[in-house]
Amino acid sequence: MSHELGAIVDLGSNSVRLVIYQQGSQGTQQEIDNLKQTVRLSSHLGDDGRIDEAGIKVALRVLEQFCQLCRAYGVTHITGIATQAVRMAVNREEVLKRIYEATGIPFRVVSGEEEARYGYLAVVNSLAVEEGVTVDIGGGSTEITVFRGRRLVRADSIPYGAVSLTREFLRSDLPSMKDMKNLDRVIQQELDRRPWLTGLGFPVIGMGGTARSLARIHQRRRHYPLLILHGYEMWPTEVTAILDMVRSMPIAKRRNINGLSADRADIITAGLAMLDQILKRVGTSRFIISNKGLRDGVLMEQVLRIRGQELLPDTLMYSIENVHDQFGLNRDHAFHVWELADQLLTAMVKHGLVVASEEHRRWLQVAALLHDIGRAISIYNTSKHTFYLLLQIPLFGVSHRDRVMAAAIAAFKSTKQIQTYLSMYQEFFDEEDIPAIAQLGVILRLVRAFDRTETGAVTGLDLQPDGRVWKLIVKARQPLGIELDLALEWTKKCRKVFQREIRLEVDDLDRAARI
Amino acid sequence: MSHELGAIVDLGSNSVRLVIYQQGSQGTQQEIDNLKQTVRLSSHLGDDGRIDEAGIKVALRVLEQFCQLCRAYGVTHITGIATQAVRMAVNREEVLKRIYEATGIPFRVVSGEEEARYGYLAVVNSLAVEEGVTVDIGGGSTEITVFRGRRLVRADSIPYGAVSLTREFLRSDLPSMKDMKNLDRVIQQELDRRPWLTGLGFPVIGMGGTARSLARIHQRRRHYPLLILHGYEMWPTEVTAILDMVRSMPIAKRRNINGLSADRADIITAGLAMLDQILKRVGTSRFIISNKGLRDGVLMEQVLRIRGQELLPDTLMYSIENVHDQFGLNRDHAFHVWELADQLLTAMVKHGLVVASEEHRRWLQVAALLHDIGRAISIYNTSKHTFYLLLQIPLFGVSHRDRVMAAAIAAFKSTKQIQTYLSMYQEFFDEEDIPAIAQLGVILRLVRAFDRTETGAVTGLDLQPDGRVWKLIVKARQPLGIELDLALEWTKKCRKVFQREIRLEVDDLDRAARI
């Protein structure tokens, strides 16, 4: 498990960020550390267009600290990315030279369009969206892309961000109506120059600190039970409401807003004003938060290169591979369990024993592929740990509802138990989902029993209706023992859950004495 | 990480159990799988004293299944232990021969005294008890030991267990008063022969299925918020109350008792009657459940041999080493953080800034040594994961209260946040513990910052009272960077938590430009 460690340092206009990651086989990746320092480089851009000496010093100081941490980890390669503040600086050559001399990191200044494209790459490879508008509000610029059928159609950069807008228009503690009007006018002008945005109606995907803070504020206010930002959805009107709230508060009061970090209290108004205008221009009804942005796009570019792909064909499967890697799960076993679960579900649907939607199949798939994850914590109370972990790990391309339902199926022991587990998560399901969870849960328990030894002893499953008692045909490539004993316990539950009695019938080379 | 895998199979009178474990360096061990099948071997002991053919067949079948699982895991050595049912069997030679022929496992029949000693070994190496009486109620026998100063004083075995007592005295669904009296008389007679038990007054530590079921029933009834049996305490009168409850219920009703597994519903009454009598004989006020028993004692014997010790000198430290191994934590870093935390706490106590009891120091120690554990789940929301995991992992020699408090300190970010985390665990603390948690939490956060790079850059801490502003002297063996920036954030909290302003002063080779 001696994977290589890499790092990305992102020298932004508001903050400098470091991500240290572990590069696995087949392009899997796990973040193992990250760090952020708020540097406000764009506020060191003087009227002469130069980053001043104080700005260079503070940037150097933070970058040296990051290098210190990278050395401590034994990071073998660092990718340095600089955005708007450096991009705009007249003295950027000098700045980069001094950084290189001090740290040895060759920073690359990405253009606004490139930066936008990285955001797009992060989004389409981690969220289930076919078409959309990405908006990344940074400290000194705002990157926008449009994509259709997951393909990039347009990438652009507005040279204003939360820090620079604040600095130019919202210097007072409590902005006046006039301040806000001036701010809005500049944003309007920028958007007027991009008529291709108007009325697109696509979902808007928000990235960057402004969007994350916004989502966090919203989640805290409504006591959202998940700690997940990625894929969280808000109504555009809720964005307007939170903008109205923050702009009517003095900064000191804003610092106490639950979910907003103190070092963003001053610039949140400008960032939200930009976002609000864009949402209105696009005329969308869906606003989705992406926790993945520039850095993830840069990482994704590396992953796609390793895998020889232009886009991840299946973002969910990629994230599951990452989780398998991180938790050291047995991948063959996981996929075998899913194959058996799929066969059993298909047979049950064919014979009218269950009705399974696309959604149900997806839940079962996630649950099957990750059913063992709780064992990473302990072989006792594993079901509880599985439920906990499935609500925490990074999963792409599934909704928060999908995740809660998959967690319930993977953790299923009985209807009563799973209702207790789900009691905090009522908003994600209706009462009628409970029988489906029980059915899918029992299916998964059955097929898990069939691969209890993780050796693929059971090669296939089929179902044969036979009056009141149905036969579950178990194809095996070797005599079964423990598998049947454990499966029998779960066939007992079938009567209650499927209104059918199910009997096991083994199809192996040596079946006689076995049942 | 290619540790060897071993297994223990315990062929008991009620059930057969398999534990597969991973043997780490320095004698650490983690269980990676376990399985239990209820076989009721003692009910196959005929009047002729032989285990009948059906009994042998069912045992063979289960043992073959266990071997199948061991093979699948690549287990390299299996230790087989047989207890009362085989011990008593006239045909035990034949039984063991047939098992050996079928499975290749050479089962060792342990004497009642040996069995008792294994229980003692498991208890004194996993619970903080200096003197006590261990009671292990099995299917066919009950093992008792007395220990003082953690040393074994006596080990004995009563040839009656939950299965054999049930079979002999409680055959009817609802036992009559006469049945119960006969049962009690036999138990009394056995205890009369062991006068050394009477009036000892030591804590009684209960092991085995009866004790675990009892604790589970008790925990469910009072909605105990932890899923931990080991170290759980009950009043002896509560044992009597639960015995009275189960013996007045027909078996079908008993099966629905929350916490009692259906396959124990018939034998629980006899097991509890035995336990109840012993508690009364000993005249104890403390009854403690041990989740560790025979199998763990056998494993512990191996561990102690590897370590060249007679007893673990520090059970808590041993369990923490196990956890470090399991979660791949950086041990040097963990111990360094604890060393710094200890120095800072000691300095603060010396100068009267905090009052720290033995308890507080223990909490801080556990928290410091395991503070990074949440990162095994994710580098996001780490504090939440740390809190979760500290309530789940096996920890020896600490109370449940210790565990909850250590979890709060390790997860501490702010008083408000930690009160939210603790809201489900009110029974473990008073309001006056909260300021202590905040103080210890801030100390831990500070010293974590000092070893953020995990390189031991900070070598020592001291405190210098200096009027209103106190100096925290940071001894370093190299210039510090990120450590100080991160520590500064936490010194800000000191004013609130310690009513003192604390300023960092670095004592390194190159301190000039640093602060």
The tens digit of pLDDT for each residue in B404-449 reads 999 999 999 999 999 999 999 999 999 999 999 999 999 999 999 9
The CATH number that applies at residue A223 is: 3.30.420.150
pLDDT at residue B3 tops 80: no
Nearest Cα of chain A lies from the Cα of B293 at a distance, in angstroms, of: 16
Q: Which of A294, A324, A342 is the last residue of a domain?
A: A294
* CA neighbor of B506 nearest in space, from B482, B476, B469: B476
Q: Are residues B344 and B399 in the same domain?
A: yes
User: Are B207 and B327 contained in the same domain?
Assistant: no
The residue with greater pLDDT, B42 or B158, is B158
Residue A3 pLDDT exceeds 80: no
Looking at the fold, whether A279 and A324 belong to one and the same domain comes out as: no
The distance of B321 to chain A (nearest Cα, Å) reads 15
Whether B453 and A392 lie within 8 Å, measured CB to CB: no
CATH code at position B100 = 3.30.420.40
**Domains held by chain B: number:** 3
**CA separation for the pair B397, B129 (Å, rounded):** 8
**CB contact (8 A) between residue B69 and residue A227:** no
**A102-111, B50-59, B76-85, B504-513: lowest mean pLDDT where?**
B504-513
Lowest mean pLDDT among A167-171, B25-29, B39-43, B391-395: B25-29
Residue at B142 is within a domain: yes
Mean pLDDT of chain B: 94
Nearest by CB: A453 against B68, B389, B455: B68
Is residue B478 domain-shared with residue B355, that is, in the same domain?
yes
Q: Please give the average per-residue pLDDT across B199-219, as a whole number.
A: 97
Contact A32/B at CB under 8 A: yes
Contacts of residue A482 in chain B, CB cutoff 8 Å? 35, 65-66, 68-69
User: Cβ separation of A66 and B381 shorter than 8 Å?
Assistant: no
For residue A182, pLDDT over 80 is answered with yes
Q: Which tens digit of pLDDT belongs to each residue from B65-116?
A: 999 999 999 999 999 999 999 999 999 999 999 999 999 999 999 999 999 9
Regarding predicted confidence, which is higher, A360 or A171? A360
Whether A452 contacts chain B with CB within 8 A: yes
Q: Using CB atoms, which residue from B37, B384, B392 is nearest to A378?
A: B392
Specify if B454 maps to a domain.
yes
A513, pLDDT greater than 70: no
The answer to whether residue B300 is domain-embedded is: no
Do A91 and A122 have their domain in common? no
Burial B197-232 (b: 16+ CB within 10 A, else e): beebebbbbbbbbbbbbbbbbbbeeeebbbebbbbb
pLDDT digits (tens, 9 = 90+) for A324-371: 999 999 999 999 999 999 999 999 999 988 999 999 999 999 999 999
Q: Which segments of B186-320 are extended strands (E)? A: 204-207, 233-234, 287-289
Q: For strand B469-476 and strand B501-507, is the pairing parallel, antiparallel, or unpaired?
A: parallel
Query: Which of B70, B377, B391, B488 to probe by mutation at the A interface, max A CB count within 10 Å?
Result: B377
Which pLDDT tens digit goes with each residue over A252-269? 999 999 999 988 999 999
Q: Does A488 lie at the interface with B, CB-CB under 8 angstroms?
A: no
- Best residue in A65, A333, A492, A510 to probe B by mutation, most B CBs within 10 Å? A65
Q: Do A191 and A275 fall within a single domain?
A: yes
- Give residue-wise pLDDT tens across range A422-470: 999 999 999 999 999 999 999 999 999 999 999 999 999 999 988 788 9
Residues B104 and B129 in one domain: no
Q: What is the mean pLDDT of residues B377-403?
A: 97
Final residue before a domain boundary, out of B86, B109, B132:
B109
Same domain? For A235 and A206 the reply is: yes
**In chain A, what residues touch B378 (CB-CB under 8 Å)?**
392-394
Residue B510 has pLDDT above 80, yes or no: no
- Residues of B with CB below 8 A from A385's CB? 392
pLDDT confidence of residue B511: 53
Query: Closest to A33 (Cβ–Cβ): which among B377, B379, B384?
Result: B379
DSSP for B288-338? EE-S--HHHHHHHHHHHHHHT-SS-S-HHHHHHHHHHHHHT--HHHHHHHH
pLDDT tens digit string along A387-432?
Answer: 999 999 999 999 999 999 999 999 999 999 999 999 999 999 999 9
Note the ipTM here.
0.93
Would the CB atoms of B378 and A394 count as touching at under 8 Å? yes
The answer to whether B22 touches B45, Cβ cutoff 8 Å, is no
Q: Measured between beta carbons, which residues in chain B are less than 8 angstroms from residue A227?
A: 380-381, 384
Give domain status of residue A375, yes or no: yes
Average the pLDDT over A231-253 and give the result: 96
For B466, the token pair is 């200096």
Nearest CA in chain B to A66: B482
Give me the mean pLDDT over the B33-58 stretch.
92
Domain span at residue A193 reads 113-294
Order of strands, edge to edge, in the sheet holding B287-289?
B151-158, B142-148, B132-137, B204-207, B287-289, B233-234
**Nearest beta carbon to residue A31 from set B376, B379, B384:** B379
Amino acid present at B85:
A
Chain A contact set for B1 (CB, 8 A): 1
Q: Do B65 and A379 touch (CB under 8 A)?
A: no
Distance from CA of A474 to the nearest CA of B (A): 18
* CB-based contact, A507 to chain B, within 8 Å: no
Counting Cβ atoms within 10 Å, is residue B305 exposed (0-12), middle (13-18) or buried (19+)? exposed
Reply yes or no on whether the pLDDT at A515 is more than 50: no
| Residue % of chain B over a pLDDT of 70 | 98
pLDDT of residue A83: 93
Q: Are residues B331 and B285 in the same domain?
A: no
- For A40-99, what is each residue's pLDDT tens digit? 898 899 999 999 999 999 999 999 999 999 999 999 999 999 999 999 999 999 999 999
Closest chain A residue to B390, measured at CA: A377
In tens, the pLDDT along A490-501 reads 999 888 899 889
Residue A51, token pair as written in the block: 């980053």
| Per-residue pLDDT, B509 | 61
The answer to whether B11 touches B82, Cβ cutoff 8 Å, is: yes
Question: For residue B4, what is the enclosing H or E element?
Answer: strand B4-11
Show which of residues 338-377 on chain B sit within 8 Å of chain A, judged by CB atoms.
375-377
- Asked if A465 and A325 sit in the same domain, the reply is yes
Residue B309 lies in a domain: no
Share of chain A above pLDDT 70, in %: 98
Residue A478 covered by a domain: yes
Domain boundary among B109, B130, B155: B109
Q: In this structure, is residue A304 part of a structural domain?
A: no
Q: Is A1 on the interface with B (CB under 8 A)?
A: yes
Cβ neighbours of A421 in B, within 8 Å: none
pTM of the predicted structure, to 2 decimals: 0.95
- The answer, yes or no, to whether residue B514 has pLDDT greater than 50, is no
Nearest to B370 by CA among B388, B357, B352: B388
Is there a single domain that holds both residue A165 and residue A71?
no
A453 Cβ under 8 Å from any chain B Cβ: yes
The per-residue pLDDT for B507 is 86
| A395, burial (CB in 10 Å: exposed 0-12, middle 13-18, buried 19+) | buried
b/e A172-207 (16+ beta carbons within 10 angstroms → b): eeebeeebbeebeebbeebbeeeeebeebebbbbbb
User: Token pair for residue B156?
Assistant: 């004995």
Q: Which of residues 68 through 87 in chain B touch A, CB cutoff 8 A? A: 68-69, 72
Closest chain B residue to the Cα of A375, Cα to Cα: B32
Chain A, chain B: beta-carbon pairs less than 8 Å apart: 69
| Structural domain contains residue A309 | no
Q: Which band of pLDDT confidence, cut at 50, 70 and 90, is reported for residue A514?
A: very low
Q: Is B414 on the interface with A (CB under 8 A)?
A: no
Q: What is the average pLDDT value for chain A, to the nearest integer?
A: 94
Residue B324 burial by Cβ neighbours in a 10 Å radius (0-12, 13-18, 19+): buried
Which pLDDT score, from 0 to 100, does residue B287 have? 98
Q: Residue A352's domain is classified under what CATH number?
A: 1.10.3210.10
Rounded Cα gap, residues B62 and B255, in angstroms: 24
Closest CA in chain A for residue B226? A381
Beta-carbon separation of A385 and B392 below 8 A: yes
Judging contacts by C-beta atoms under 8 Å, the chain A residues touching residue B513 are none
Contact B482 A69 (CB under 8 A): yes
Q: Does the structure show a pLDDT above 60 at A511?
A: no
- Indicate if the pLDDT at residue B62 is higher than 90: yes
Report CB contact under 8 Å: B65, A35. no
Phi, psi of B92, deg, nearest 5: -65, -30
The pLDDT tens digits of the residues spanning B106-144 come to 999 999 999 999 999 999 999 999 999 999 999 999 999
**Test mutation, A378, A424, A486, chain B, max B CBs within 10 A:** A378
Contact call for B68 and A33, based on CB within 8 A: no
Distance from CA of A202 to the nearest CA of B (A): 30
Percent pLDDT > 90 in chain A is 88
pLDDT, average across residues A312-316: 96
Other residues' Cβ atoms within 10 Å of the Cβ of residue B173 = 12
Shared domain check, B79 and B118: no
A388 CB neighbours in chain B (<8 A) are 388
- Cβ of A388 within 8 Å of Cβ of B388? The answer is yes
